[in-house]
Structure 1
């Protein structure tokens, strides 16, 4: 089912987009290592991690960040005709994530900055683990078109 197209003025502060949860499996660690080229053993060698006092492989910060990709949820489908660009993102990593942890990500509208023909929609991004601990917080900003004038 395709959602109704939305424009900048159709969003409201506090609107929330929950993304699918994901358990950080060994396969996801391997896929991230392959895609990123990261070769530090803390991200792929269980015994190395254990010898350094960790319970298992430690997820790279970017591996956590990608859990907030808006494309995993409804947002990009809502703005297919209005999206002009992904402007920026920032993130802070607050607690470690290890193999086996399940992550829950969400995006919440926290900025609506109108321009003449466009507007910026800011989304606060959060990732919690299975224990409810906030492991990452950040922001994403998108440039959207305003609703076209009716002819």
Structure 2
């Protein structure tokens, strides 16, 4: 194949063929994310990226001296397990996504090195506007024992299908 070969369209190179718009979502739809074991390498990578050098996250002796069984994952390290880009959701809204509006998290139980985390996003809000709508996703992370360790929310501004908004001014 040569560069610029006729027939290839980069816009057609997608992870998911189906394009979804605000009106295509339903309350209760679930988007599981890949599971991940919190290895020492992940702890070190997070430390390098965040600059967080508190010993509770990186020093086993310190943790044990303070009554913890092992190194404790930083809250943000757990929250990033809910990044929508790890799953199919952003690929479904590739042409309709306008903005990532907000994210919140509540940390309910500790996560230690070696824990395996299972994250998911579930549609829990659909707030239509004229040409867009807000899709709210409940974000959850469970550990290998089935314990809910994080409960949170994401909100996205998604365009409505163009056929449903013909003639409507777009507020932004």
Q: Is TM > 0.5 for Structure 1 vs Structure 2?
A: yes
Gaps of 5+ in 1: none
Q: Cα offset for 1:127? A: 0.3
Tell me what 2:49 maps to: 35
Q: Cα offset for 1:133? A: 0.3
Tell me what 1:97 maps to: 111
Rg comparison, structure with higher value: 2
Quote the Cα distance in structure 2 between the aligned partners of 1:40 and 1:50: 14
Tell me what 1:52 maps to: 66
Q: Cα offset for 1:2? A: 2.3
Tell me what 1:8 maps to: 22
1:148 maps to 2:143: no
Tell me what 1:23 maps to: 37
Quote the Cα distance in structure 1 between the aligned partners of 2:17 and 2:82: 20
Q: Cα offset for 1:53? A: 1.1
Q: Which has the higher strand share?
A: 1
Gaps of 5+ in 2: 1-14, 167-172
Structure 1: 4+ residue segments shifted above 4 A = none
Quote the Cα distance in structure 1 between the aligned partners of 2:163 and 2:114: 50
Q: Cα offset for 1:51? A: 1.0
Tell me what 2:8 maps to: none
Quote the Cα distance in structure 1 between the aligned partners of 2:46 and 2:76: 9
Relative to the length of structure 1, the TM-score reads 0.97
Instruction: Determine which structure has greater relative contact order: mean sequence separation of CA pairs < 8 Å that are 6+ residues apart, divided by chain length.
Output: 1
Relative to the length of structure 2, the TM-score reads 0.86
Count of aligned pairs:
151
